[in-house]
Amino acid sequence: MSVVGRTPDSAEIRWSAPDDSGGSALQGYVIELREVSRSYWRRLATVGPNTTTYTVGDLTPGDEYVVRVIAKNEEGEGSPLTSDYITMPKSKSILVALPYIRNYL
């Protein structure tokens, strides 16, 4: 799994389908998120078996997160793929610069 895009409040992740689905057809994936400072996982979405990207939104600029993807079939859920820490970029506010820009207009 890898992070393929980031904004101050979102991250796009991409993963590969499992090599072995345990003999049953893949039904989809469960996407979960955890703030590094917390111990619990929050279930964000369930996506179809042909989906291998997902954009996690509503993230806080400057915070760190971990995302995991769990493949599922009729037998249940498999072992999760877990991302490295995802550090969100801090947002830059244009409002701070407006008083200075006004002086040059």
Question: b/e string for 32-70 if b means 16 or more Cβ within 10 A?
Answer: bbbeeeeeebeeeeeeeeeeeebebeebeeeeebbbbbb
Domains, the chain, ordered by start: 2-104 (2.60.40.10)
Question: Tell me, what's the pLDDT at 93?
Answer: 52
pLDDT at 15 over 90: yes
Q: What is the mean pLDDT of residues 61-68?
A: 94
Residue 62: both structure tokens together = 């400057």
Please tell me which residue, 22 or 104, carries the higher pLDDT value.
22
Q: What is the mean pLDDT of residues 35-54?
A: 97
Q: How far apart are the first and last CA of the chain?
A: 47
pLDDT at 103 over 50: no
Identity of the amino acid at 78: G
Q: What percent of the chain has pLDDT over 90?
A: 70
Question: Tell me, what's the pLDDT at 67?
Answer: 97
